[in-house]
Amino acid sequence: METIIETRNLSKSFKGIKAVDGISFAIGHGDVCGFLGQNGAGKSTIMRMLLGLIYPDSGSIFINGTEFGNHRRYLLKNVGAIIERPDMYGYLSGWDNLKIFAALSDMKIPAARLHEVLEIVGLKGREKDKVKGYSQGMKQRLGIAIAMVHKPDLLILDEPTNGLDPQGIAEMRALLISLSKDHGKTILISSHLLVEIEQIATSMLIIHKGRKVVEGPVNKLLHPDDSLVEVIIRADSSAVGRLSLSQWQKYLHSTEDTVLTFKMNPGNAPALNKWLVGENIDVLEIRSKHSLEEYFLSLTNDTIIKDRAI
């Protein structure tokens, strides 16, 4: 896959404290890359460097194969971004806000394009309303309209679901999926809502304390065959012994009191349950543990983490 954005050994310090420490990664055209890390991990610093808002101490940034260098202004014409909450003029309408920011892009944006992006983000019919009357979700969607009015291939979004209610989060999720699938946008998105990232991301970049800990496609990082399936049973001293003589022994990962943990595809859980019931082992609950949240915590809770990539 052709790379749209790449960093090589990117580093940045503030007052002697290293915020970003030699990070290299690449995002391919058409990817939705979930950018994850705990507070203070360096996500916002990296996003600001990608947008030329701050300069790295060392390392390189490439967009479409061309290094920033003296081409920064030209290359950023292919990038749209929201960093934190978008600032808008509340006393003006959504349409007027969009016109103002379109004019600031140094590109001639026809009115037809303004109508088009408003329809894409679901604000058609509300464009004449003053922004101060918009919900937070509407403001975020108007921010995305502003970010993509000049038809960029790449969108960089910092916490676009921050502060949204469940309805607003669902609308944002649907919009981001549509931007990727229907409009061909490449998206780098940071978020603390791991369940949302799991639903929309095709790849992930996880950083911890300024360093990359993992990077790769979601379908490999969260491969279903590596899932942990927990089975909670009623106390049965012979259960583990019978398991050791069965076809399920090869999947048994650990046992602790009444909790049996298997490493396997969750799709095998119904057959496992049927076998356990057939052996008169009382099953109280079965649950899959290999979510993005479990994976993320397993990486960022360690004191020492080695770089990994797939």
Domain ranges of the chain: 3-221, 224-289
165 CA to centre of own chain? 18
CATH T-level topology, domain 224-289: Alpha-Beta Plaits (3.30.70)
**Using one digit for the tens of pLDDT, what is the confidence trace for 60-112?**
999 999 998 888 888 888 999 988 777 899 999 999 999 999 988 878 899 99
pLDDT at position 304: 37
Does 142 score more than 50 pLDDT? yes
Please give the pLDDT value at position 290.
61
Q: What pLDDT, on a 0 to 100 scale, did the predictor assign at position 192?
A: 80
CATH architecture of 3-221: 3-Layer(aba) Sandwich (3.40)
Percentage of residues of the chain with pLDDT beyond 90: 59
Average pLDDT over residues 263-267: 83
Q: What is the mean pLDDT of the chain?
A: 88
Residue 309 has pLDDT above 50, yes or no: no
Whole-number pLDDT of residue 40: 85
7-64, pLDDT tens digit by residue?
999 999 999 899 999 999 999 999 999 998 888 889 999 999 999 999 999 999 999 9
- Whether 136 has a pLDDT exceeding 80, the answer reads yes
Tell me, what's the pLDDT at 310?
Answer: 41
Predicted model pTM:
0.78
Lowest mean pLDDT among 132-136, 156-160, 263-267: 263-267
Position 84 scores a pLDDT of 72
